[in-house]
Amino acid sequence: MQTLVAYVENKPGVLNRVSSLARRLAINIDSLTVGPTDNDQIARMTIVAHTDAKGGHRLEASLEKLVDVLLAENISERSLLERDLALIKVKADQQNRPHLMELIKVFRGRVVDVAPDSLIIEVSGTVDKIDGLIEVLRPFGVLEMARSGRISMTRGGDLLQPPPQEQAA
């Protein structure tokens, strides 16, 4: 897996161009998240690609050539903090609800919705943590699930900063 961060112009069509580029390079995107930055003209993409280091560098170089991409960096070899978010709806009756609540607490999740026959759990953390919770919940009956995809940030003083505002106009 390779993790790349791209600062892009926040306008229609950019996501399509980035995903089409990965397709042309025959690189499968495992996760792609996009969100605004403190500058509403610039969005930050975190791309997790199912490829080796060589493919990651090809993707980084190709991203840099796209007109709407202001900065692209492969951060796979850096010290990273990575998180996913998941909402998981699980069957919960009166008998198994106390046991479920204990399991949720162990994974530092929280219940965000309670219905007579189900719970919706919110959990954030590493992919392994979320996958672990899902496996523990499967015997109870996972009814529905939504995951955000990975977001990543380099640790400490290692900063990735978008270009100045005037470049993104």
Q: In the prediction, which pLDDT does 149 show? A: 87
pLDDT, tens digit (0-9, with 9 covering 90-100), for 21-34: 999 999 999 999 99
pLDDT, tens digit (0-9, with 9 covering 90-100), for 62-80: 999 998 999 999 998 888 8
Q: Residue 1 is encoded by which pair of tokens?
A: 């897996």
- Residue 105 Ramachandran class (φ > 0 left, ψ -120 to 50 alpha, else beta): alpha
Mean pLDDT of 82-103: 93
Mean pLDDT of 41-61: 91
Mean pLDDT of 91-101: 92
Given a contact cutoff of 8 angstroms between Cβ atoms, the answer to whether 27 and 2 are in contact is no
Average pLDDT, the chain: 90
Q: In the prediction, which pLDDT does 117 show? A: 94
**Can you give the C-alpha Rg of the chain in angstroms?**
19
Q: Find the farthest-apart pair of alpha carbons in the chain and give their distance in angstroms, rounded.
A: 60
Coil vs helix vs strand at 135: helix
Task: Give the pTM.
Answer: 0.78
Q: In the prediction, which pLDDT does 169 show? A: 47
pLDDT, tens digit (0-9, with 9 covering 90-100), for 117-150: 999 999 999 989 999 999 999 999 999 999 988 8
Q: In the prediction, which pLDDT does 165 show? A: 57
Query: What domains does the chain contain, in order, with CATH numbers?
Result: 2-77 (3.30.70.260), 81-147 (3.30.70.1150)
Report the alpha-carbon distance of residue 23 to residue 46 in Å, rounded.
16
Q: What whole-number percentage of the chain has pLDDT above 90?
A: 69
In three-state form (DSSP H/G/I as H, E/B as E, the rest C), the secondary structure along 51-93 is CCHHHHHHHHHHHHHCCCEEEEEECCCCCEEEEEEEEEEEECC
Q: In the prediction, which pLDDT does 163 show? A: 65
Q: In the prediction, which pLDDT does 166 show? A: 56
Q: Which of 93, 85, 95, 149 is nearest to 121 (CA)?
A: 85
Higher per-residue confidence, 153 vs 4: 4
Q: Residue 4 is encoded by which pair of tokens?
A: 């790349």
